[in-house]
Amino acid sequence: MNRPYNFSAGPAVLPEAVLQQAAAEMLDWHGSGMSVMEMSHRGRHFEQICDEAEADLRELLSIPDDYAVLFLQGGGLGENAIAPMNLIGLRAAHAADYVLSGSWSVKSCAEARRYGDVAVAATAEQAAVVDGAQQGPWTYMPDPASWRVRPQASYLHLCSNETIGGVEFMDWPDLAALGAPDTALTVDASSHILSRPMDVRRAGLIYAGAQKNIGPAGLTIVIVRKDLLGHALPICPSAFDYTIVAKERSRFNTPPTYAIYIAGLVFKWLKQQGGVAAMEAANVAKAGLLYDYLDGSSFYRNPVHRPVRSRMNVPFMLRDDALNAPFLQAAEAAHLLQLKGHKSVGGMRASIYNAMSIEGVRALVDFMKEFERSHG
């Protein structure tokens, strides 16, 4: 079967080999006589699935032993509340600072305001001149040298890949160098986790909804330094208290078992591909192909400041908005799915996560060339 190429921002494409293995194991997982969906989360079969998934994720991201890995529910937006409930009480001031770089970090910041003294450390909401180039709102990353991190802040929050705006920021700063050595860096990495090596040590907390670059919706990955545990606010539900969930090895209550299983298959697939360094090389090639074409065209454009263009989510506009509907219709006919841009940005967006092949990106670029030729 020839599947179409799926450019959805999330839930998103999964590796075909993973879907096939899951299909083959659907009725009987490894001779257990059960589907993974039918197993006790406390039985030996699921224990093996869960433990292997954690071990493979640790290996892929080189997660040090003094970090806990948690499999939670609630998604990225759930984590916007769960993270402050767990971390804002770390220091007496109950303060947290947020870097605003697009829609997702703005939402994170608004949610956190319920739980303590929240301030904006930096924002990209204004148009600005960046490295000599005029940039529109939410198309660049504020320079870390300009971030105002309060020394009493329990944590500083960052979204390191803004899925909607297409802004990716990998040079996670050392907060000690910004005058806040006791402030924990908290990163929403939902839409680019496992797309490249990440310096886990730079962060106190990394979280990601699984449905972008890992697996099915319903699973949230949390990676947290253990010395930050033990400060949850009294209102924090037990099922979302990192300390309790870590102690129970993600089985305090029933975790999203099937989603963990699929994520585990994706982790094994990633290891077979050569791990995150190999994924990074592939993602650089894929993104390069698309951005090079966009930059050479006067028919399409990407508005994001070049050094922080996302390798995962590539928004692009057509010269004439009236061509959006015909573009999407022709793309679907050419088996290129879910290219419509987010309504707040307009135009198109191609999400090219790990599971999107270079052939898929080539097919998209070929299609865009042909559309430009016939409508330009």
Q: Which residues bind ligand PLP (CB under 6 A)?
A: 10, 75-78, 104, 159, 163, 188, 190-191, 209, 212
CB 348 within 8 A of CB 315: yes
CB 69, CB 221: distance < 8 Å: yes
Q: Which residues are catalytic?
A: 104, 188, 212
Q: How far is the CB of 9 from ligand PLP (least distance, A)?
A: 7
Where do runs of H (alpha helix) occur along 34-74? 44-61
Task: Please state the closest distance from residue 155 (CB atom) to ligand PLP, in A.
Answer: 16
DSSP lists the bridge partners of residue 85 as none
Q: Is the Cα dihedral 101, 362, 372, 331 positive or negative? A: negative
State the Cα–Cα distance between residues 88 and 97, nearest whole angstrom: 10
Cβ density class 41-71: b for 16+ within 10 Å, e for less: beeebbeebbeebbebbbebbebeeebbbbb
Q: Is 139 annotated as a binding residue?
A: no
Nearer to ligand PLP, 242 or 300 (CB): 242
- Is 104 known to sit in a ligand binding site? yes
CB of 212 to ligand PLP, least distance (A): 6
In contact, 114 and 176? CB cutoff 8 Å: no
The SS3 assignment for 366 reads: helix
State the nearest-atom distance from the C-beta of 313 to ligand PLP, in Å.
8
- Determine if residue 257 is labeled as part of a ligand binding site: no
Residues 6+ apart with CB under 8 A from 227: 66
Q: What minimum distance in Å lies between the beta carbon of 221 and ligand PLP?
A: 11
Helix, strand, coil share of the chain (percent; to 5): 40, 20, 45
* Main-chain dihedrals φ then ψ at residue 205, nearest 5 degrees: -140, 130
Q: Which residues are annotated as a binding site for L-glutamate?
A: 42
Q: Which residues are annotated as a binding site for pyridoxal 5'-phosphate?
A: 104, 163, 188, 211, 253-254
